[in-house]
Amino acid sequence: MAVATQAHSTSKMFDEFMNEVISGNPNEPEFHQAVREVAESVMPFIEAHPVYWKERILQRIVEPEQVVMFRVAWVDDSGAVRVNRGYRIQMNSALGPYKGGLRFHPTVNLSILKFLAFEQVFKNSLTGLPLGAGKGGSNFDPKGKSDREVMHFCQSFMTELYRHVGPMTDVPAGDIGVGTREIGYMFGQYKRIRKEFSGVLTGKGLGWGGSHIRPEATGYGNVYFVEQMLLRRGDGLGGKIVTVSGSGNVAQYTVEKLIERGAKCVTLSDSGGFIYDPDGLNEEKLEFVKWLKNEKRGRIAEYAEKFGCQYYAGKRPWAIPCHIAMPSATQNELDGEDAQQLVRNGCYCVSEGANMPCTPEAIDVFRQAKILFGPGKAANAGGVAVSGLEMSQNAGHTVWTREQVDRQLQAIMKSVHDTCCLYGTKSDGWVDYVDGANIGGFVRVANAMLAQGVV
Ligand code: NDP
Ligand code: 2IT
């Protein structure tokens, strides 16, 4: 189905809706940004199907079902008392239990978590799995903290959060600053308080309820999504030069799959700067990155020292010529000028591993140039999809093999891609994946909300 939609709709309905969102949620710029992008795609669809407007579906979707904010007090290694703020945004339960990650980073605030929870609604819908949407976290900074300090923080965090979550209610997972270590400490505390070994969190260790491929899922999934976009043009990944940002969970497994597919990844970054390795990463270099970031918890600059390549302090990798760019660090890390430079340098595919890494100006540049642009809510849906598979395994008291999970992940990414094409193909055959993901994600959750009445 080719849906005739126009980017940047400025209809009366759109303006009325956005004005309400902005005045009702002041000082939340990231939330406004995420809502505006979806509303631009979805409003023409709503205007063509007025029941969604009459039943105030989008107006209900932007209102979290519940927001929990709480004090997290803990004691550091020196015996000093520390205080952080914890959050859980329970955004939408029309499709299943609330589902989405926890982020521990000093920049965390209500606006950032609401934008992430809002994106999650559409992303989780696109997976086709029974997953509602949520997000949470804290302004706690794990950097420079000992394992013991991280444990004390996680225990204090879960001592409040346990009241609000559960395998049929809300199932958190990892995000920036939350990996298997943090999930382990939180799982241990939940089990201790509730006396219950259950699938209350995903991203658990393989030996204690975790799923094969969950650590790999977001990065692998994004590469599978890129393959689908390329395949539609009879193209593939072999020999392609790829720039990746970040060097955490998503970036590492993006690179792993790219190497396997014969592409050459030439950059990685962290909050200090980026490395440029014109020879490309290989398995040995990637093993070093995993050790450096996951065990030593060091800086990406050390890669440049070890392998004798260039490190650019305080810079982002988007000026490096590439065929494909995969931003995989954080929101708004690729702006309009970066986008222009990428397109000028011949980049023809950008796929978001991170959530909202491209600014609205950057997305405008990509859409105007009609390059392949995979928005995060579609391209990085593999992570939450395998979390959904982890929930199924936990509920069935079973463990699937690596091959079984990987096959399902590939099938889900193909289906997410097909949904984008269904709702995003324009009259000239070009696929607007932004419209496709937003409308495709909206339809499933909106119809569930219509069926479930005014709640
Ligand atoms: P990690 O904590 O494992 O890694 C985050 C990486 O991003 C690190 O390299 C970090 O650098 C860098 N980074 C964080 N903040 C900034 C910043 N302000 N400026 C520059 N670099 C920064 O997180 P993930 O890899 O899990 O998450 C990366 C992105 O992917 C996030 O947007 C997340 O929401 C998204 N995502 C994650 C999923 C998952 O399953 N984990 C699923 C879907 C999306 P440093 O080491 O210096 O902090
Ligand atoms: O942004 C995301 O989709 C995640 N951080 C993963 C969420 C999850 O529940 O696995």
Give the pLDDT confidence score for residue 92 in this predicted structure: 99
Please pick, among 135, 145, 264, 285, the residue that the annotation labels catalytic: 135
Nearest protein Cα to ligand 1, atom 33: 354
Q: Are strands 264-270 and 324-326 parallel, antiparallel or unpaired?
A: unpaired
Give the pLDDT confidence score for residue 252 in this predicted structure: 98
Query: 357 CB less than 6 Å from ligand 2?
Result: no
* Contacts of the segment 141-148: beta carbons below 8 A, 24+ positions apart: 141/104, 141/105, 141/106, 141/177, 142/104, 142/177, 142/182, 143/297, 145/76, 146/77, 147/181, 148/77
Looking from the CA of 175 toward its CB, the CA atoms found within 13 Å total 27
131 Cα nearest atom in ligand 2: 9
Residue 306 bears catalytic tag: no
Q: 157 alpha carbon to ligand 1 midpoint, in Å?
A: 21
Q: Which ligand is nearest to the CA of 142?
A: 1
381 Cα nearest atom in ligand 2: 3
Q: What are the two backbone dihedrals, phi and then psi, of residue 281, each rounded to the nearest 5 degrees? A: -75, 145
Rounded to the nearest 5 degrees, what angle is found at the Cα of 440, between the Cα atoms of 405 and 2? 120
Beta bridge partners of 325: 243, 350
Q: How far is 230 from 234, CA to CA, in rounded Å?
A: 6
Q: 16 alpha carbon to ligand 2 midpoint, in Å?
A: 31
171 Cα nearest atom in ligand 2: 9
CA dihedral of residues 313, 314, 320, 326 (deg, nearest 10): 120
Q: 116 alpha carbon to ligand 2 midpoint, in Å?
A: 9
Query: 355 CB less than 6 Å from ligand 2?
Result: yes
Nearest protein Cα to ligand 1, atom 40: 383
Q: 175 alpha carbon to ligand 2 midpoint, in Å?
A: 6
CB distance 41 to 8 below 8 Å: no
Tokens representing 421 are 């094409």
Q: 127 alpha carbon to ligand 2 midpoint, in Å?
A: 12
Question: pTM of the entire structure?
Answer: 0.97
Tokens representing 401 are 């093999």
Mutate-to-test residue for ligand 2 from 91, 123, 125, 175, highest number of ligand atoms within 8 A of CB? 175
Give the pLDDT confidence score for residue 8 in this predicted structure: 58
Give the pLDDT confidence score for residue 6 in this predicted structure: 44
Residue with tokens 């072999």: 238
355 Cα nearest atom in ligand 2: 1
Mutate-to-test residue for ligand 1 from 109, 113, 270, 328, highest number of ligand atoms within 8 A of CB? 270
pLDDT, one tens digit for every residue, the chain (455 residues): 344 444 454 799 999 999 999 999 999 999 999 999 999 999 999 999 999 999 999 999 999 999 999 999 999 999 999 999 999 999 999 999 999 999 999 999 999 999 999 999 999 999 999 999 999 999 999 999 999 999 999 999 999 999 999 999 999 999 999 999 999 999 999 999 999 999 999 999 999 999 999 999 999 999 999 999 999 999 999 999 999 999 999 999 999 999 999 999 999 999 999 999 999 999 999 999 999 999 999 999 999 999 999 999 999 999 999 999 999 999 999 999 999 999 999 999 999 999 999 999 999 999 999 999 999 999 999 999 999 999 999 999 999 999 999 999 999 999 999 999 999 999 999 999 999 999 999 999 999 999 999 99
Q: How far is CA 108 from the centre of its chain?
A: 15
Q: 455 alpha carbon to ligand 2 midpoint, in Å?
A: 25
Nearest protein Cα to ligand 1, atom 36: 354
356 Cα nearest atom in ligand 1: 32
Q: How far is 43 from 53, CA to CA, in rounded Å?
A: 9
Residue with tokens 């990155």: 289
214 Cα nearest atom in ligand 2: 10
Query: 352 CB less than 6 Å from ligand 2?
Result: no
Query: 99 CB less than 6 Å from ligand 2?
Result: yes
According to the 3-state scheme, what is the secondary structure of the chain? CCCCCCCCCCCHHHHHHHHHHHHHCCCCHHHHHHHHHHHHHHHHHHHHCCHHHHCCHHHHHCCCCEEEEEEEEEECCCCCEEEEEEEEEEEECCCCCEEEEEEECCCCCHHHHHHHHHHHHHHHHHCCCCCCEEEEEECCCCCCCCHHHHHHHHHHHHHHHCCCCECCCEEEECECCECHHHHHHHHHHHHHHHCCCCCCCCCCCHHHCCCCCHHHHHHHHHHHHHHHHHHCCCCCCCCCEEEECCCCHHHHHHHHHHHHCCCEEEEEEECCEEEECCCCCCHHHHHHHHHHHHHHCCCCHHHHHHHCCEEEECCCHHHCCCCEEECCCCCCCECHHHHHHHHHCCCCEEECCCCCCECHHHHHHHHHHCCEEECHHHHCCHHHHHHHHHHHHHHCCCCCCHHHHHHHHHHHHHHHHHHHHHHHECCCCCECHHHHHHHHHHHHHHHHHHHCCCC
Q: Which ligand is nearest to the CA of 144?
A: 1
Q: Are strands 324-326 and 349-351 parallel, antiparallel or unpaired?
A: parallel
